[in-house]
Amino acid sequence: MRNGGRSRRDFLKAAGIAAGAMVLPNRPGRAPSSSAAGDPSSGPQPDAGAADYTLRIKASPVEIARNRFISATTYNGQFPGPLLRFKEGREVTIDLYNDTDMPEQLHWHGQKVSTDVDGASEEGTPFVPPRGKRRITFTPRPAGFRLYHTHVRAGANLAAGQYNGEVGIAYIEGRSEAGAYDREEFLVLKEFEPTFSRGGDMDQDILLPATRDPTLEQAGETAMKASLAKGLPKGYEVGYAAFTINGRVLGQGQPIRVKQDEHVLFHIVNGSATEIRSLALPGHTFRVVAVDGNPVPNPVQVPVLWLAPAERISAIVVMRHPGVWILGDLDPDDRRHGMGIVVEYAGQSGKPVWVAPPISRWSYARFARPGATPAAPDQIFDMAFAKENAAEGGFNRWTINGVAYPMTGESAPAAFHLAQGKRYRIRMRNASDDIHPIHLHRHTFELTRIAGQPMAGVLKDVFMLGGYQEAEVDFLADNPGLTLFHCHQQLHMDFGFMTLFDCV
């Protein structure tokens, strides 16, 4: 049966298995729990009345394997955070409690919300104060697979920011939820137990086109050689000891139980602070139907999925290869340390099997509208990205057009100016060998050129810009106020890789 006959109860069951306990909306009419621990403003509240949802930021033990508990800051004491289901265009009120000693920001990634609720202090969103509370109200949009996560600077503190367990899925239902699938599975990929290393960066040749720009390459390599010649070591990178899907190390959680011929729609988000992830399922292919929650014009089959931090992929797998399989990362070391989940067909048993897929690179252009070219923008912004090796207390400093965003917490003036209703193109040139997951807040952009190849129709809010490559994205300025633009790699955004647009 395709999803036409799928019952709501079946769906709740499937979602509950896949993404941990789901938070049901607070019962309407219930009084707010103003006596809740950690709420300094207890007593009558100006915003009295029940919120639709409550999210409580708190330190919790998380059992990632049997009797193996890590300590992390979480939402509501669980990892991943509760799966929040919104209806597009239906206003919600959410109480954010902060039971920690640090100011917090909760970012509604991929949604067109106001600066007051977006969850970025750089845009002016107020912090959720330590041991305090904030109530926010907004209208979820656009429909699709979104996420929410913390948006505070971690810097050199691996116990802060996205190194923690502060990530969850927000799924916004549209007016029609069509699709030829039997059921959905939500997967959150996440590493824990981070440590610093100076191993240098691993070159990741995963993107197509693979064309590098010789000018960018020369600039980057020359800067690196000059830095090393001065006796500087390579800048810090982050590695991890524990790898999980839905908070469980491979083999430690419930398997995904499937039946022969079922069409399973996977909604996968990379919740990593820093890592690009891959996924393959031996004997199966993925039909990618949406990226970052936005349907693609050309939903083709691929053997391997690649996702940078905060990227999402929705893909349908037809279960026609019975067995017990590992849906896992291509990196043997990461898989051995937990990055995978077991897929078990009904009536099959035995040790889960992994088979490495053939080498396949990731190309956004595959999902584009064939033969289409993008509309001309009203204005083009040029941005050059560069790395200053180990220049910031041993950390790499990152610049946009030669400027690192201040790391002192003060807000910077907007560097780029938008007029509402106009269409803009950002032309990016990456003079570093790292892949950068480039993210624009409060807007959706269209990929219009990747490494020299024009394309149209693929809508995203974060995408991978390849090492020594250039790319262009177009967007409509349709959300007034300050808008943050940054690399989603926590080490990069924390050490300069951010800038602000304003829109009037």
For 321, residues 6+ apart whose C-beta sits below 8 A from its C-beta are 282, 283, 284
What is the C-alpha separation between 439 and 484, in angstroms, rounded?
8
For Cu ion, give the closer residue by CB, 60 or 489: 489
CA distance to 91, 231, 319, 365, per residue, from 369 (Å): 33, 49, 27, 8
- Contact between 399 and Cu ion by CB under 5 A: the answer reads no
Amino acid at 19: A
Piece in contact with Cu ion (CB under 5 A), picked from 146-154, 161-169, 189-197, 488-496: 488-496
Residue, CB closest to Cu ion? 487
Part in contact with Cu ion (CB under 5 A); list of ranges 329-337, 355-363, 435-443, 445-453: 435-443
Please report how close the Cβ of residue 89 comes to Cu ion at its closest, in angstroms.
34
Q: Decide whether 172 or 487 has the Cβ nearer to Cu ion.
A: 487
Between 337 and 429, name the residue whose CB sits nearer to Cu ion: 429
Ranges within 301-320 binding Cu ion (CB under 5 A): none
Sorted by sequence, the CB contacts under 8 Å of residue 89 that are 6+ apart come out as 139, 140, 141
Complex with Cu ion: residue 473 or 503, whichever CB lies closer? 473
| d(C-alpha 247, C-alpha 69), whole Å | 11
Task: Tell me the closest approach of the beta carbon of residue 428 to Cu ion, in angstroms.
Answer: 11
Give the number of residues in contact with Cu ion, rule: CB under 5 A: 4
For residue 312, the minimal CB distance to Cu ion (Å) is: 18
Q: Scanning residues 23 to 42, which ones bind Cu ion (CB under 5 A)?
A: none
Question: What residue has token string 């491979």?
Answer: 250
Torsion over CA: 456, 462, 466, 472 (sign): positive
State residue 87 phi and psi, 5-degree precision.
Answer: -105, 130
Q: List, in order, residues 6 or more apart from 417 with CB less than 8 Å away.
A: 501, 502, 503, 504
- To Cu ion, the closest distance from the beta carbon of 434 in angstroms equals 6
Residue 306, beta-bridge partner list: 278
Whichever of 109 and 492 has its CB closer to Cu ion, that residue is: 492
Calculate the CA dihedral of residues 288, 293, 296, 300 and round it to 10 degrees. 0
Q: What minimum distance in Å lies between the beta carbon of 385 and Cu ion?
A: 8
Under a CB-based contact definition with an 8 Å cutoff, are residues 80 and 246 in contact? Answer: yes
Among 489, 495, 499, 503, binds Cu ion (CB under 5 A): 489
In the complex, least distance from residue 82 CB atom to Cu ion, rounded to whole angstroms: 29
Please identify, using beta-carbon distances, which residue of 125 and 432 lies nearer to Cu ion.
432
Nearer to Cu ion, 455 or 464 (CB): 464
DSSP one-letter code for 494:
H
> Is residue 492 at the binding interface for Cu ion, with CB under 5 A as the rule?
yes
Which range binds Cu ion by CB under 5 A, 20-28, 194-202, 231-239, 491-499?
Answer: 491-499
Contacts of 269 (CB under 8 A, 6+ apart): 145, 147, 167, 169, 186, 187, 188, 189, 307, 310, 311, 312
Dihedral through CA 141, CA 145, CA 146, CA 148, nearest 10? 130
Tracing tokens 């910031």 back to the chain, one arrives at 392
> Min. distance of Cβ 488 from Cu ion in angstroms?
7
Choose one: 30-38, 342-350, 471-479, 480-488; the region binding Cu ion (CB under 5 A).
480-488
C-beta closer to Cu ion: residue 436 or 443: 436
Residue 436 within binding range of Cu ion, rule CB under 5 A: yes
61 within 8 A of 70, measured Cβ to Cβ = yes
| Segment lying near Cu ion (by CB under 5 A), choices 138-146, 169-177, 286-294, 434-442 | 434-442
- Tell me the Cα Rg of the chain: 22
Establish if 432 lies at the interface with Cu ion (CB under 5 A): no
Q: Which is nearer to Cu ion, 462 or 487 (CB)?
A: 487
Among the listed residues 123, 89, 127, 87, the one whose alpha carbon sits nearest the alpha carbon of residue 106: 127
| Cβ proximity to Cu ion, 98 vs 272, nearer residue | 272
Least distance in Å: CB of 362 to Cu ion? 17
**Beta bridge partner(s), residue 447:** 473
Query: Minimum distance between the CB of residue 196 and Cu ion, rounded to whole angstroms?
Result: 17
Rounded to an integer, what distance in angstroms lies between the CA atom of residue 315 and that of residue 296?
Answer: 11
Does position 64 bind Cu ion by CB under 5 A?
no
| Residue 419 beta carbon to Cu ion: minimum distance, rounded to whole angstroms | 28
| Residue nearer to Cu ion on the CB measure, 436 or 442 | 436
423 strand-pairing partners: 476
According to the binding rule CB under 5 A, does residue 487 interact with Cu ion? Answer: yes
Binding site residues, Cu ion, CB under 5 A: 436, 487, 489, 492
